[in-house]
């Protein structure tokens, strides 16, 4: 089997908060290109997709909060050959952020930024993820601070 035929399962969090009645989404930079992405990674052995996504949120962005038990969708992308290649399918779980800590494992490797849902959606490369962001953000009441 070539790497191009490899199917890799990952999980991610769509981290959000409501501040001053405005929805915001936490975006982070990717390690290789520096483009805006959501915290995601391989589903680690012994962890559920949800627990793995929660772990990635802390490691990649220093986020603590409540992760939904239910996925809000998935998006697909292709890993570059430099990253091992393969087709990735990413399950996305919403995470209501309670706290963004000042120090986290990948702090020196990434930037993080709160964005409006519209700006967050416009900043990602994957059309499926763009739709997930916009659709989910419409469902969160603006009073849920």
Q: Count Cα atoms within 13 angstroms, Cβ side, for 36.
A: 17
Backbone angles phi, psi at 123, to 5 degrees: -85, -10
Domains annotated on the chain, with CATH: 3-139 (3.90.79.10)
Confidence of residue 14 (pLDDT cuts 50, 70, 90): very high
pLDDT at residue 113 above 70?
A: yes
Q: What is the pLDDT of residue 143?
A: 60
SS3 content of the chain, % helix, strand, coil (to 5): 25, 40, 35
Q: What is the pLDDT of residue 5?
A: 66
- pLDDT tens track for 87-112: 999 999 999 999 999 999 999 999 99
What is the spatial distance between Cα 63 and Cα 59, in angstroms, rounded to a whole number?
Answer: 8
> What does the angle CA 30 – CA 31 – CA 34 come to, to the nearest 5 degrees?
55
Measure CA of the first residue to CA of the last residue in the chain; give whole Å. 49
Q: What is the pLDDT of residue 33?
A: 86
Q: What is the pLDDT of residue 32?
A: 85
Q: What is the pLDDT of residue 140?
A: 86
């Amino acid at each position: 089997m070539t790497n191009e035929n490899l199917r890799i399962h990952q999980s991610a969090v769509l981290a959000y908060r409501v501040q001053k009645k405005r929805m915001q989404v936490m975006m982070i930079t990717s390690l290789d290109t520096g483009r805006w992405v959501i915290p995601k990674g391989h589903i680690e052995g012994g962890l559920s997709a949800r627990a793995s996504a929660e772990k990635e949120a802390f490691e990649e962005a220093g986020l603590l909060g409540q992760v939904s038990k239910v996925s809000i969708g998935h998006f697909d992308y292709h890993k570059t050959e430099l990253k091992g290649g393969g087709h990735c399918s990413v399950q996305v779980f919403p995470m209501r952020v309670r706290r963004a800590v000042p120090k986290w494992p990948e702090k020196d490797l990434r930037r993080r930024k709160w964005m409006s849902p519209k700006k967050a959606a416009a900043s990602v490369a994957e059309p499926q993820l763009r739709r997930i962001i916009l659709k989910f953000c419409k469902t969160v009441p603006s009073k849920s601070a």
